[in-house]
Amino acid sequence: MQPVAIELNTSAQASLPDQGRSKKTASLMYLLAGIAIIVGVVIRCCNLDYKLYQRDEFVTSLFISGYAASDTYQDIGKATTAGEFQKYQHFNTGKNTIDALRGLARCLPEQGPLYLLAARVWAHIFGDSPTSLRVLSVALGILVIPLTVLLCLELSQSAMFASMAAAIVCLSPIQLLYSQQARPYALWSFLILLSSTLLLRSLRLNKKVNWAAFCLVSTATVYAHLATCTLFLSQGLFTWFHECFRFNKRVMYFCAAAVLAVIFFGPWLKFFLFGHPMFTDSIRQHLTPAMMALKLASHAVLPFALHTNCLRGLAMHALRYFIITLAAYGMYTTWQARRQNRAFAYLLFLCAGPVFLLLRDIPAGDCLCTYDRYVVPTLLALQIMVAYALADLWNHGRIRRGIGIALFLVVLGIEFTSCLSYSRLKDYEGFGYGVDVPAKLLQRVKKPLVVGDVGILLGLSYLVDGKTRFIPVEPGTLRGLPTAGEPYYFLTDIPGDRQILQAHGLQTLQIEPGGRLFFVTPPMPGQSAESGTGKESACSH
């Protein structure tokens, strides 16, 4: 039986990969895809307590507990134990949900409150430990898989295409990363796919109940992350394209749904317009146009090979070029498919999302879209387009079918290897800011006193015992820095702080090769500031 096209404006149908294949080979492919999905789910559930709790996750626990970043400054210059400092990571009976929302609105309004509310409810039921919060992301990450299947079936009603896409998305290392972090990106991915599926279904059926559901899900999506605005722009342009640039009922329904979603988002939008996004401002990069283009091109690699440090030289470059070529082929195949079925153009519009961020960021000389978490819709679209390109090869003879099977196996192999490489890392690319290294050194000291900014001290508080004391300081200005008294250790990930530290006569020891974390000790009595310091002398007192 021929699959039925979902296209509204044409009776033609895009070539579907279910046609002209042997049942035996197809059964093996379905089995392979099923095994890949099972493996992906199992990997998501492994090593949740092994990874270092990284800085972005500290912030999640900070907001869930009801505190704001400014609350931590009340301890600046004061010595406190690691256990006492952990109060900012756990529920406080004097803090409620309003305090949690207020803290998020003051510091990070770009992230909507939906994940925070869900995480608070989850933490009240299952506990607020790092592992418990990560389990919530695992559950949301698993829900991404059936949503991928539903979106693919709305595009082509091809079971082969849907199964291959689900396998690729499930084993994707970037999806594994989102599923194992106490951050909102697994929730955002789930809502992006649900919103996309409802949009295509609404365009196909054009019923008010479908548009109402799309409006509600779109509102929830923008409450998950403000970068959803790029998704709205992509969906609006696609709807206009889908209707052949005519302003008809479908376009009107979409505009009404989008306007209602923005109105519903109004109570939180004011915090973004008038708040102080201190965390987002701290990660802005000033890049040249060439560097921006290079970083954006590297996004094509992230969904398939997140961690490639195990490769060196030509092997690493060959892998990256292969993935970029495969992604380009997926985009080309999708572009061709949109001639028979305009719905496929939706994936191309999703990939155009970073363009809208560039239009906002380039005039200011900085760029946020070089970070993967701001272009999640693009990463999802790339994976689905590659899956369609591989599945489409089934319709073009035995040779191309064999090439498609081989490429599918290669993609799954690359993803599986990348996931295993990531799962073995305790601190992925410095996400924990290397605090495990000084933590091991501090364990050899009797009563260490550690000075640093709040973010690093929060991470260190998970790894040291109760004998360690903390003195938080304000980063950048080092307000609260002790100038006299007992020797102490200073931790910072701001290279510019080195000049301030040297002005205080402190010796710096670079722990991490990338220079993101410095381990600093004051000169010992009778030792000048110019004296060299090594790991041995750093722990001698």
* % of the chain exceeding 70 in pLDDT: 78
392 and 507 co-located in one domain:
no
- Give the count of domains, the chain: 2
pLDDT surpasses 90 at 183: yes
Say if 71 falls within a structural domain. Answer: no
357 and 452 co-located in one domain:
no
What pTM did the predictor assign?
0.86
422 and 507 co-located in one domain:
no
Pick the most confident of 136-150, 452-466, 525-539: 136-150
Mean pLDDT value across residues 413-431: 80
- Give the pairing type, strands 469-472 and 507-510: unpaired
User: What band does 375 get if pLDDT is binned at 50, 70 and 90?
Assistant: confident
Say if 511 falls within a structural domain. Answer: yes
376 and 442 co-located in one domain:
no
Mean pLDDT value across residues 417-427: 84
Say if 495 falls within a structural domain. Answer: yes
406 and 448 co-located in one domain:
no
Of 382, 402, 428, which one is at a domain's C-terminal end? Answer: 428
Of 385, 406, 428, which one is at a domain's C-terminal end? Answer: 428
308 and 361 co-located in one domain:
yes
413 and 515 co-located in one domain:
no
Say if 208 falls within a structural domain. Answer: yes
* % of the chain exceeding 90 in pLDDT: 40
> Domain range holding 505?
436-538
424 and 440 co-located in one domain:
no
245 and 382 co-located in one domain:
yes
Mean pLDDT of the chain: 81
Q: Which residue has the higher pLDDT, 190 or 262?
A: 190
User: What band does 526 get if pLDDT is binned at 50, 70 and 90?
Assistant: very low
Say if 115 falls within a structural domain. Answer: no
- For the ranges 233-237, 360-364, 448-452, 507-511, which has the lowest average pLDDT? 360-364
507 and 391 co-located in one domain:
no
Say if 503 falls within a structural domain. Answer: yes
Mean pLDDT value across residues 119-145: 95
pLDDT surpasses 60 at 42: yes
Residue 64 Cα distances to 87, 267, 448, 459, angstroms: 12, 20, 29, 16
Say if 346 falls within a structural domain. Answer: yes
39 and 148 co-located in one domain:
yes
Other Cβ atoms closer than 10 A to 34:
13
Pick the most confident of 44-58, 192-206, 297-311: 192-206
Say if 110 falls within a structural domain. Answer: no
d(CA 401, CA 390): 9
**Phi, psi (rounded to 5 degrees) for 60:** -60, -50
Strand order in the sheet with 449-452: 80-81, 469-472, 449-452, 489-492, 518-521, 507-510
440 and 330 co-located in one domain:
no
- DSSP string for 410-432: HHHHHHHHHHHHHHT-SSGGGTT
Of 368, 401, 428, which one is at a domain's C-terminal end? Answer: 428
